[in-house]
Structure 1
Amino acid sequence: MEISVSKSIVDGSTVLKSGSGTFCFRRLTPGALLVTITGNDQGQFGTAALDEIRLEILRHGKLELLVDAEHAELVTVEVSQEWTRFFAITREQLKRVSVLTGSKLINLTVAIAQHLSQTGNLIQIYSDRSLFELALAKASTAQVIKNARS
């Protein structure tokens, strides 16, 4: 399956689309990345989605990752295993991972990845959008304050 990649000049976002799945990556501030996932990820993205996150880590050293998976519908076991490996390998470069889920299946998938990656409290799972929005605002504000002090 082919992956279509588009970049927005307006907000600097990168969008990956393939089949019925979409990943949108938007840098909130240097060191804070919002990833919005919709539809299905059955492996059609290969490593492209995680590569986008790795690039942000390379650019900024430590990264606060916020994942809006409220409209994600399906993720295969293989894809879940890749994310689990990613979290385990990059845990030292991740400040915090906040994940908004919209279904019990996605919530369970993220909870299993959280447990198997042995990342402790690094990954926070939200089922309430308002609480996720608070984490999003905090990540954006904290990074702006940090940058102003530097």
Structure 2
Amino acid sequence: MTGVPSLKPFLLAHFPAFIGVILAGCLGGSAAISLAASTYFADVPVATNATVSWFVVLFAALFVTNSNFLVVRGHAWAVWGMVGFFVVCLLVTLPTLAYEPHWFIYSECLFWPLLGLLLINSKGYRVMVGKLVGVRRLREAAKAGL
């Protein structure tokens, strides 16, 4: 296996940014959903609010997982799914200031999406996506028998 690059240097260089985007997506999404449920839908019965919030969290988790899976498979366009997710989290969070939420919860709801956008925009994340696209092209060429 002389010509095969090792996985360890790649993971050491790019895993923190990759997992940071996933964690920011999970924490930012759940925080935004929680804040929206407690402000916009405060008058809704608790059982209904909890059920709807649970389904929204499930959908958000599936979306974050699928987007990052596609990034790992070398589809660079899937990064825009995460960017859109973080922007939606911010757009849900920002108007809740009118309901005067707790300052820590509100700042946390702003922090995670902004951190995710910062990580996506970092040079290391861009290099990682470029390398994953290169691996996908090599995989497709090997499938084609070239």
Asked if TM exceeds 0.5, the reply is no
Larger strand fraction of residues: 1
TM-score (norm 2): 0.28
Q: TM-score scaled to structure 1, two decimals?
A: 0.28
